[in-house]
Structure 1
């Protein structure tokens, strides 16, 4: 089954760290090649998340790992405190290395997490998480 991703797209934002696709209850990120992602260089992203979801609309973040980049995983501790409505974190990993990195990331999050090998499965998972809450 192929999911029509653009049908529900609210807006796309190109930020210094990557592209972010905002939907009703989820975000898909595509971080730029070679970026070092930190809590501090995500302030623009946090402002956008707040403008779309505030602290009450439930949402899921999907990291679509098309590119190679690094991040400081302890930033998850700070960012999840900003959004009590953040309910899940999915990673679409296209190779074994990114899958291992995603497994490590899971230990830094208390939210529901899952690793996928394609974006369509990740979107279906979002629907499963969101449906009971709306």
Structure 2
């Protein structure tokens, strides 16, 4: 098995919409309870992602759905154009309702997507995507 390239936390950012954990090749988002996320509310996050990964560093976005929140899935259309280096989108889900929501969100993405029930499996998937790119 190749070495795990993703373990070192680079920095945690707390924004109005949630907490974001940046690693070398992925980030984990934990949105705040009850927040509604759209493109405008995600602007600060999008700028942070661009600062960390630019256009060339491959990365995976993982959402850890520990809280209930709303997301405008069409925002993916706008944000996808900003990140040609996005290699995947993972969702860590803890209940059937959020599983259905995550499945719907996947239809709006043009990168590999996967649903997980724990962080460890999601991080292992990052390794697979990045190392096999």
**Aligned equivalent of 1:60:** 60
| Matched residue SS, 2:27 | strand
1:111 pairs with 2:108: no
**Aligned equivalent of 2:87:** 87
List structure 1 segments (4+ residues) > 6 angstroms apart after TM superposition. Answer: none
Whole-angstrom CA distance in 2 between matches of 1:38 and 1:31: 12
RMSD: 1.4
Give the structure with the larger helix fraction.
1
**Aligned equivalent of 1:45:** 45
TM-score norm. by structure 1 comes to 0.93
Whole-angstrom CA distance in 2 between matches of 1:11 and 1:52: 10
**Post-superposition offset of 1:132:** 2.1
**Aligned equivalent of 1:15:** 15
Matches within 5 A, 1:95-134: 95-133=95-133
**Aligned equivalent of 1:72:** 72
1:27 pairs with 2:33: no
| Matched residue SS, 2:62 | strand
**Gaps (5+ residues) in structure 1?**
none
**Post-superposition offset of 1:69:** 0.2
**Gaps (5+ residues) in structure 2?**
none
Whole-angstrom CA distance in 1 between matches of 2:91 and 2:76: 14
**Post-superposition offset of 1:7:** 4.9
